[in-house]
Amino acid sequence: MKVSELDFFLPSELLAREPRETRGESRSDSKLMVMNRKTQTIEHKKFNDVIDYLEKGDVLVLNNSKVINANLIGWLGYKERKIKIDLAGILDNGNWQIYIDDNEINPGDTCEFGDGMLTGTFEKMEENHVWQIKFDQDNVIELANKIGRPIMSPYVKKQYDLSYYQNVYASKEGSAELPSAGRHFTKELLEKIKQKGVRVVYVTLHTGLSSMMVTEDTFEEHHMHKEYIEITSAVANTINEAKKNGHSVVCVGTTVVRTLETVADEQGNLKPFTGYSTLYIYPGYCFKIVDKFITNFHGPNTSRIAMAAAFTGKDLLLKGYAEAIQRKYLFYEFGDTTLTI
């Protein structure tokens, strides 16, 4: 499928440039667009209305990963020149995958951040701008949270505190960027959902470089970077039981979808898993476990809109996005959201 088939014009005024709390609103005050695959219809709601689309016995699956201060400014070598890196995640070999907008790095180059608190060596370039660094310290996340800052999207109007990038239920540190679909949930809304008889469970995917643009001509040519995922036996059993009894699995965000679909077998059964995912979902993919899908509005030329199109269907998704733009929905991590049923 050509990437241009999911292209559209996104007016700059619809880029969410600030958290809605800074305007005196609640996170759950965001708009919700509901797309129904069976009837090919679209509804326009508030996010608090999401509870009306959940039934007793359903399982709501959230990503409990917590965002770290992944943007670090430091020095190449012994203060030869300043550099800026984005931490993407720790790999199974102990190195950290990072993004750096610099074409003059060489293997063996050293770096330091926070006046020498964090030091390391560039070991291997995976692809343009993507490197592996071997840090000399083991407590990289702890140090990054002290000396770094959140990765800031270019359209966000100022640097916001890390707390604005955390979901209310986040508990496991490791994400470079906010798993943003979960940002609309408040503790109060989650409690109401539980009281309705919906099971709320958590998986982990530490976000890294999966948000990078698709620069190839077709979605099939693109690939995803490794990201750490985890599903416990208790969560796997809860979801398996719900599916067996005919209840819906409601995934909050592309990260949850990738986690479950990575681990599910061909029959849609889950098992405990700790490891890495490179799963890339684009139109034509056959979903094994996801019944309903909550995700924010994504820009063109991204793997995230490819996944949304794979689940929702290209025509319905583009129809919904056209209505969203007409109705002034806001896009990206501080914006509004969708539910596909």
Per-residue pLDDT of 254-294, as tens digits, reads 999 999 999 999 999 999 999 999 999 999 999 999 999 99
Report the chain's mean pLDDT, rounded to a whole number. Answer: 96
Contact predicate 111/76, CB 8 Å: yes
**Whether residue 30 has pLDDT greater than 80:** yes
Query: Which of the four CATH numbers 3.40.50.2000, 3.30.70.260, 2.40.10.240, 2.60.40.10 does domain 71-147 have?
Result: 2.40.10.240
The Cα diameter of the chain in Å comes to 63
pLDDT given at position 99 = 96
Mean pLDDT of 85-102: 95
Confidence of residue 87 (pLDDT cuts 50, 70, 90): very high
**pLDDT (tens digit per residue) in 57-83:** 999 999 999 999 999 999 999 778 999
Q: Is 115 helix (H, G, I), strand (E, B) or coil?
A: coil
Percentages (nearest 5) of helix, strand, coil residues in the chain: 30, 30, 40
User: Over 90: is that where the pLDDT of 212 sits?
Assistant: no
pTM: 0.96
Here the tokens at position 283 are 């139109």
Q: Does residue 275 sit in helix, strand or coil?
A: strand
CB 220 within 8 A of CB 1: yes
Nearest CA to 259 out of 292, 284, 281 is that of 281
Which residues, listed in sequence order, are joined to residue 65 by a DSSP beta bridge? 172
> pLDDT band for position 211 (50/70/90)?
low
Q: Which residues, including other chains, have CB under 8 Å from residue 222's CB and lie 6 or more apart?
A: 214, 215, 216, 280, 282, 303, 306
Fold of 3-67+159-340: QueA-like (3.40.1780)
* CA 216 – CA 106 distance, rounded (Å): 26
pLDDT over 90, % of the chain: 93
Q: Are 50 and 339 spatial neighbours (Cβ–Cβ below 8 Å)?
A: yes
What stretch(es) of the chain map to CATH 3.40.1780.10? Answer: 3-67+159-340
pLDDT at 210 over 80: no
Supply the DSSP symbol for 255: H
Q: Say how far apart CA 160 and CA 137 lie, in whole Å.
A: 27
| Residue-wise pLDDT tens digits, 47-61 | 999 999 999 999 999
CATH 2.40.10.240 in the chain, residue ranges:
71-147
